Amino acid sequence: MNHYDNSNRNSVSRRRFLRASGLSLALPLLPSLMKSAGAAESVASEPMRLCYVYVPNGVNMTHWRPDGEGDGFNFNRSTKSLEPHRDSLRFITGLEHREAYIHNDGAGDHARAGATFLTAARPHKTSGTDIHVGVSADQTVAQAIGAQTRLPSLELSCDGVRSSGECDSGYSCAYQFNIAWADERTPVAPESNPRSVFERLFGDGSHGERQSNYARRQTRQESVIDFLREETNLLNRQMGVDDRRKLDEYLTGIREIENRIEKAEKFGPPVDPNYPTPSGIPESYREHMRLMMDVMSLALVTDTTRVSTLMLAHDGSNRSFNEINVGDGHHDLSHHKKDEERLEKIALIDTFYCEQLAYLLDTMQSHKLDSGTSLLDNTLLVYGSGISDGDRHNHDDLPVIFAGGASQGIKGGIHQRLADKTPMANLHLELIERMGVKRDRFGDSTAKLSLV
């Protein structure tokens, strides 16, 4: 199941990047080049990766919650497919997102569940004016270490088509469809088409052509930057404050492209994975999720980025599941009113989602890095939902699984039962620090959550 070409295994390392760049571009020996070459020699350990996977609408905890605590736990039926990965994962129960609760904001728990999941901040209730939440954990890390990789971060979603009309109870759709936030007002929109993601990461065309296509694209981009910057400045002079913010977003994009071009000089051409370019969004939801997981793993193993988020679906998603013969909408079912049949169907959906997580863990496990350890060992991965029980819309007792991190000595094979209502922000804070970023607080954190 390893899609990545093993014979080409070494090409994923930084050293190999540099060698490749030296061969193909014959760059002058820039100081930046020397610096990173030096860094690559001296640092024996692989860089850590951070990855968040969001699953919507809560779960049926009865069949989800592990049986027993500590290292003596047993997998419950919904998570059974994860059993082969027992040693590289742990269940963390007792986490809470306090800011997702109603406070004085009325209905809208799905919007809040998604918006708080990585920000641990309360979204300002609005349909569009003054969108405001917090910087998300992944972006906090990306903003600090993003310069070290070709892309600061990668945002993915498996929601192909969005429904029209208003979103959850007076909250803008921005809260429900984005979990990554670059700043309090700016969501980072995820991509759902695996083909465009792949081509953006590695270049278009088939294996063997991508490096040159990628380089050509960058040359084209480089040629337009100056003009576009001048155009923006020209327009900027005529704009008020709010409008300038929009133009700033445009300029940020321009800067990002420039950064990438600079990085190409530093890192050389991207790795060209021996993996077929995906052909768009597949009919089957399972295939879609797996393709996205493949592409995400490739991005991480090639060190194209070290930070990624994947929304399997937005919170409140009413998708139905033909693959497992559950025709009802997920959101509709999640309001189970304790009906046995509905609860059973939710458990089937939870099982289905866990199987996809198992696939992701398989994939990450099979990607070996230079050090001989696996991608999973060098990744801090969190899988979870911002709601516990879809009927009660409660944001405590969240279903959360942590996986990976072996290279930092994080042990798997346990059910870590926390004190009730431990802020999820504590977990974020811990992971932010483990990614090498110093923060005293994050969202409503009260302490770091020890993973030892």
Partner 1 sequence: MTQTLRRLAPSVCVFVVFASWLGQSHADSGFEGEASTSHIDIESLRQRFGDHCFGCHGDGGEEGGLSFEKLAEGGYGEETISRWESIWKNVRAETMPPPDEEQPELADRQKWVDWIQRDIFRLDVNKVDPGKVVLRRLNRSEYTETIRQLTDIDANASENFPADDTGYGFDTIGEVLHISPVLLEKYLASADKIVTEAIPISGPTPPRQKVWGDHFHLDAIDGPRNEGLKFVDAHDLHIQETIKNPGAYDVEVNWELDGAWTNTDQAANVKLRWHRLGDDQKEEIVELDSAEASFIKQTEGTLSGKVSINDKPLHLSVSFEPTSIDTKSKQLDNSNPAPYTFRLTHTEFVGPTDGKFVEYRSGTKILFNGPPPQDAGEDVLDEMTAQVLDRFATKAFRRPIDAPTLARLTQIAKEARSQPGMRYENGVATALKLILASPRFLFRAEQPLGADQLASIPVEFPTSPLGDPIDDYSLASRVSYFLWGGPPDEQLMRVAGEGKLREQLDEQISRMIGEEWRTRVGVGNFVGQWLRTRDVHSVPIDVRRVLAFRGSDSDFPWQVREAMKQETETMFRYLLEENRPIAELLNADYTFLNKHLAKFYGIEGVKGDEMRKVSLPADSHRRGILTHGSVLLVTSNPTRTSPVKRGLFILQNLLGTPSPPAPPNVPALEESKKGDMAQASLRQILEQHRRDPMCASCHNRMDPLGLALENYNAIGQYRDQELGMPEHRGRPAEPDKPIDPTGVLMTGEKFSSVVELADILANQRKDDFYRCMTEKMLVFALGRGLTYSDATTVDQIIAELKADDGRMQTLIKAIVRSVPFTHQPKTESIARLP
Residue list 382-421, contact with partner 1 (CB under 8 A): 389, 391-393
Residue from the set 26, 161, 419, 452 that interacts with partner 1 by CB under 8 A:
161
Residue 189 in the binding site for partner 1 (CB under 8 A): yes
Residue 220 in the binding site for partner 1 (CB under 8 A): yes
**Tokens at residue 214, please?**
């990628």
**Tokens at residue 394, please?**
């409660």
d(CA 13, CA 301): 9
Residue 328 in the binding site for partner 1 (CB under 8 A): yes
Residue 438 in the binding site for partner 1 (CB under 8 A): no
Task: Report helix, strand or coil for 88.
Answer: helix
In the complex with partner 1, the residue whose CB is nearer, 69 or 231, is: 231
Query: Residue 94 CB, nearest distance to partner 1 (Å)?
Result: 20
Instruction: Tell which positions 11-70 bind partner 1, by CB under 8 A.
Output: none
Query: Residue 247 CB, nearest distance to partner 1 (Å)?
Result: 6
Instruction: Tell which positions 110-149 bind partner 1, by CB under 8 A.
Output: 126-131
Segment interacting with partner 1 (CB under 8 A) among 58-66, 72-80, 162-170, 404-412 = 162-170
Residue 261 in the binding site for partner 1 (CB under 8 A): no
Q: Say if residues 73 and 91 touch (Cβ distance below 8 Å).
A: yes
Q: Which long-range contacts link 319-327 to residues 24+ away (Cβ below 8 Å)?
A: 319/285, 321/285, 321/348, 321/349, 321/352, 322/285, 323/284, 323/285, 323/286, 323/352, 324/348, 324/349, 324/351, 324/352
Residue from the set 71, 209, 249, 262 that interacts with partner 1 by CB under 8 A:
249
Residue 262 in the binding site for partner 1 (CB under 8 A): no
Cross-strand partners of 155: 309
Number of residues that bind partner 1 (CB under 8 A): 80
Strands 379-384 and 49-54 come out as: parallel
Place of tokens 């190409």: 264
In the complex with partner 1, the residue whose CB is nearer, 155 or 377, is: 155
Query: Residue 248 CB, nearest distance to partner 1 (Å)?
Result: 9
Residue 174 in the binding site for partner 1 (CB under 8 A): yes
d(CA 284, CA 271): 29
